[in-house]
Structure 1
Amino acid sequence: MERVFQVKFSDYHQITRSKTMLAPISELSTIFEIAKALFESIELENHTIRLLGISLSNLDNAKQSQAIQLPLFRNGKMIF
């Protein structure tokens, strides 16, 4: 399973970071930690972000689950 984290800046410059896992992951907390680590690896000083994107590919379809929208903000504060 591959996770891709994409950041688009206000000047239309964009960067992509990815991580490929050897085994399927089903825990939301694990997916969150991988996305957080990829985000923290990006140099953000003097940059304004206009878009953050996280994509998952090669998902294991053995177990059907309902898609959910993850919150970016909790109680007015960024989760990261």
Structure 2
Amino acid sequence: MTLSKMLADAVQRAALRAVEQRAAAWIMASVTAVNGDGTVDISTARGPVLSVRRLRSYSSPVVGDVIKVSRNADGNWVVDGAYA
């Protein structure tokens, strides 16, 4: 592999990571801790996320709940609710 090909591949990987990080998304996660301040700690496929705010409609979180979580382009997270 040539140096220019390696550089092009590295630039492409960096651009893809940047786009993924700035994109809004929703994902499934599980609750790992319920905090007293209206937040929960969650486990996602990408790793743990601490102190995620939950919507009022998700009023009784329980450790182990499978939940839908949204993340906006700025990196803010919110728990939309639990799956049945």
TM-score bracket, normalised by the shorter chain, equals: under 0.3
User: TM-score, length-normalised on structure 2?
Assistant: 0.22
User: TM-score, length-normalised on structure 1?
Assistant: 0.22
Relative contact order, CA 8 A, sep 6+: which one is greater? 1
Larger Rg: 2
Compare the two structures and name the one with the higher strand fraction.
2
Compare the two structures and name the one with the higher helix fraction.
2
